[in-house]
């Protein structure tokens, strides 16, 4: 299976369990991997045979900068469902949502959730 990567997307959203997170907001980074057959796109050089990664960015942006949710898991599910719903060429999607600055004490780079969803 071929893969398309859209990595390091950066957004500002209002997701989190704590009231401060929902009021002040914070940074979120998102990586997605789309699993699909890219052979026709490679052979024809036509955008109609692939997924426009600019549109994928817009889809993710709309969700992350949209309605607040409490959990990263919920955010990842919404992103994967939207991508699978919009892009019929995609057989499976991996979504990684990264929270670089969660309000928890300690020294770490980030926290993240990664899910993989496919068509049933």
Collapsing DSSP to helix, strand or coil, 57 comes out as helix
Is 99 designated active site? yes
Collapsing DSSP to helix, strand or coil, 5 comes out as strand
Q: What is the dihedral of CA 104, 108, 110, 115, to 10 degrees?
A: -100
Q: Which of 10, 19, 70, 99 is catalytic?
A: 99
Angle at 8 between CA 111 and CA 117, to 5 degrees: 70
Burial (0-12, 13-18, 19+ Cβ within 10 Å), 30: buried
Q: Which residues are catalytic?
A: 99
């Amino acid at each position: 299976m071929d893969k398309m990567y859209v990595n390091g997307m950066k957004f500002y959203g209002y997701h989190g369990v704590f009231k401060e997170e929902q009021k002040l907001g914070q940074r979120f980074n998102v990586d997605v991997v789309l699993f699909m057959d890219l052979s026709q796109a490679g052979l024809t050089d036509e955008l109609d045979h692939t997924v426009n990664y600019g549109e994928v960015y817009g889809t993710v942006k709309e969700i992350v900068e949209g309605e607040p949710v409490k959990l990263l898991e919920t955010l990842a599910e919404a992103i994967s469902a939207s991508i699978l719903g919009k892009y019929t060429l995609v057989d499976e999607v991996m979504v990684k949502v990264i929270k670089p600055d969660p309000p928890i004490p300690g020294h770490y780079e980030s926290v993240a959730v990664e899910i993989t969803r496919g068509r049933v």
